[in-house]
Chains A and B, each alone.
Chain A
Amino acid sequence: MRIAAAAAWAGMRAEALQLRRSPLVVGLACVQAITFLVLVSLFGLTGSRAPTGLVDLDHSALAEHLVADISAAHHSFGLHRMDGRTADAELRRGNLAAVITIPAGFGAAVVRGDTVAIPVAVDNVDADLTDDVQRALPSAITAFGQELGLANIRLRPAELDLVDHDTDFIPYLVISALALDALVVSGVLAALAVAREFEGGTARVLALSPVHPLAPIAGRVVTTGAVSLVALLITWALVVVGYGVTPTHPAEMALGLAGCVVIFSCVGVAIGTLIRRTLPVTALVFGVALPLYIDSGSLEPERFDGNVIWALAHFSPVYYAVGVLEDAAHGLRVTPEPAWLDMLALLAWAALAIMVAWRVLRRGVTA
């Protein structure tokens, strides 16, 4: 037992030395975690704040009021005031998604109670963006009508919020991205550490030694897990500082991330053992990561995607990870299951992952 502990320690130390001498690998692993934040942020940006030209030919107080309501339409328009000629040119160049024109005499017509046509030119190259513009503009006009008490506006939405605060799309995405970070960083580092043992033949040296070969390999994976955790903590700090997302429950966040590191390190161990080569490891971890990430509630609560996909998501640890992390960061319940159950499921996944990785590794090393 004492020798096994010494061997595990030796494995940890050897891995730390090897990683220290491969600073580019470690550096890129940390950068990779951050680039995922950038990735999902850009992804989030593509779905909101469509660049829209605003041509105000009226310049009345009511026109200004309408402009304010259009700007306030939830994350739909990034308004840019300009003249009609420039707006038309920019739209044709592809720099604008739409041009809204407030016609001359708009304010006077509204006061008279006349119907006013508001021309909207849309670049419908992206149907999704076009739909957003089409949906958001009526809601802005409705808000405008209600605020002015216009007679023909009868719509009155009575919204009952489930959560006492709104969470913007990008802050939602960057938290689920932490689960993806954990999967990729922990998975890749652990898989590389294990695959290297087989590729270099050192697994046979371990198998010939009096200590069980799993002891030093476990030590190595502890080191890669620690490095992954540091990478995640750096990324988390960036989420707090850069995105202004201060976790509601920091302890839950830390435990959730640690659970992710354990699970995905074990996934990496299994992949490394089965593949036994370092070259395809990264691509395969990505291949495993992306479907698990997308089917996890990373973009929206998974139950919104239909019952079949939602049911399948229950087999993925990322589903529970996103449930825990969104609760910890924003106090959001993105799964129908309570947060404590998500945490329990995540920890059960960690225990299961350790057992499976241990078994796969044992068979791999002694085969």
Chain B
Amino acid sequence: MPAPDPSPAIHLDAVSCRAGGRDVLDRVTLNIARGSVTGVLGSNGAGKSTLVSLITGLRRSSAGGATVLGEHLPARGTSLRRRIGVVLQETALYEELTAAENLQFAASLYGVPDPRRRIAEVLDLLGLAGRAGDLVSALSGGMRRRVAIARALLHDPELLVVDEPTLGVDVDARHAIWSHIRLLRARGTTVVVATNYLDEAEALCDIVAVLREGRLVAYETPAQLVARAGRCIDIDCEPDAIELVGQAVSGLHGVLRVDATPSGAAVFLHGDTPADEVVRTVLREAPVGGFRVRAADLAEVFHALSAAPATT
């Protein structure tokens, strides 16, 4: 049995991409380990799709170097494409063909040996065996997404790049797609997931790269990101008391910020700041109905990172 390749699946070294006179990716450096699931997180226009296009060879960098599965980009020849599976943001299926016919077509493009058997395998893997003969136009959004994933898996790629895997799908389909991606990770496939959904990144990813305005602002595990964001005190109070809460805690050590919430206010604390003093001060200075201390969730982390100045 060959030893696992220790080199990263993807290595980006100060990669930039320019479009429309601006850097849509700006000196991004990161290593993605083989066999991991990596989330690329960012709001619309942050550079996620550009990063996906760069990795998959649809786009060239304007500066910096990139290596994917040991091949420098732009790759010569077609050998790298045989090793990558891509699920684009749009499902990009032929609506007048059945799910199986779409896969048959894709199998021809990749020269998949014994395509009939392989198509049956991937359809089964994605729970589509019973819908193989259905026209794509008759499938739901979630089903189409799964057909698109099945197509990307046909040639058994080492690297699967998925742009917005659960865009526009219902809750059940979302969880089904997540479980397929987890299954792939268990089989050793490297997966890159570009997503807008924080819970998706938290549920799926070993590590998350956060992009803002084309720059990489964080590249850590979801747990590290949450720890970095510290703790949060949810305070139940009337809307007119939120300002009092803000004034009360503004000078205290370790307080990062105060956000208004539907139930009152949320006070964010730096990682090692004790909550006791803050809670006591709030109870003394403002009419408060109750409070709860908890860890910050990824949404709050992302919000904080997005608001912070970008770094390279």
Contacts and interface: CB of A to CB of B under 8 A. Distances in A.
B96 interface: yes
B104 interface: yes
Contacts of A14: 94, 97, 101, 105
B111 A208 contact: no
Contacts, number: 74
Contact of A210 (B94, B111, B151): B111
A10 B105 contact: yes
- Chain A facing B: main interface SS: helix
B88 interface: yes
A264 B138 CA distance: 34
Given A6-B108, A7-B109, A208 B96 contact: no
Interface in B244-282: none
A21 B88 contact: no
Contacts of B79: 210
B101 A17 contact: yes
A65 interface: no
Contact of B78 (A6, A22, A206, A211): A211
Interface in A186-223: 200-202, 204-211, 216
Nearest to A21: B96
A172 interface: no
Residue among A18, A21, A204, A210 with most chain B CB within 10 A: A210
A320 interface: no
B62 to A, nearest CB: 16
Contacts of B104: 10
A20 B21 CA distance: 46
A18 B108 contact: no
A6 B58 contact: no
A9 interface: yes
B81 A209 contact: yes
A204 to B, nearest CB: 6
Contact of A9 (B88, B97, B108, B151): B108
A18 B105 CA distance: 12
B86 interface: yes
B16 interface: no
A205 to B, nearest CB: 5
Given A200-B92, A208-B57, A208-B86, A17 B97 contact: yes
A200 B94 contact: yes
Interface residues of A, number: 25
Contacts of A204: 58, 88, 92
A210 B92 contact: no
Interface in A1-49: 2-3, 6-7, 9-11, 13-14, 17-18, 21-22
B95 interface: yes
Interface residues of B, number: 28
Contact of B56 (A18, A208, A210): A208
B220 to A, nearest CB: 30
B14 interface: no
B96 A209 contact: no
B92 A201 contact: yes
A11 B109 CA distance: 10
B82 interface: yes
Contacts of B95: 200
B101 A206 contact: no
Nearest to A207: B58
A10 B97 CA distance: 12
Nearest to B79: A210
Nearest to A18: B96
A207 B88 CA distance: 12
A17 B109 CA distance: 17
A202 B93 CA distance: 6
A209 B109 contact: yes
Contacts of B88: 201, 204-205
A9 B109 CA distance: 10
Contacts of B82: 210
B133 to A, nearest CB: 13
B78 A210 contact: yes
A208 B94 contact: no
Contacts of B96: 17-18, 21-22
Contacts of B97: 14, 17-18
Interface string B92-134: 1111110001001110111100000000000000000000000
Contacts of A9: 108
Interface in B33-71: 56-58
A10 B88 CA distance: 21
A209 B105 CA distance: 11
Nearest to A209: B109
Nearest to A20: B96
A206 B81 CA distance: 11
Contacts of A205: 86, 88, 92, 106, 151
Central interface residue in B81, B106, B108, by most chain A CB within 10 Å: B108
Interface in B129-151: 135, 151
Contacts of B94: 14, 18, 200, 202
Given A2-B111, A202-B92, A205-B88, 16 more contacts: A3-B109, A3-B111, A6-B111, A14-B105, A18-B96, A21-B96, A201-B88, A201-B91, A204-B88, A205-B92, A210-B109, A210-B110, A211-B110, A216-B105, A216-B108, A216-B109
25 contacts: A10-B104, A10-B105, A14-B94, A17-B101, A18-B94, A21-B96, A22-B96, A200-B92, A202-B93, A204-B88, A204-B92, A205-B86, A205-B92, A205-B106, A208-B57, A209-B81, A209-B106, A210-B78, A210-B109, A210-B110, A211-B109, A211-B110, A211-B111, A216-B108, A216-B109
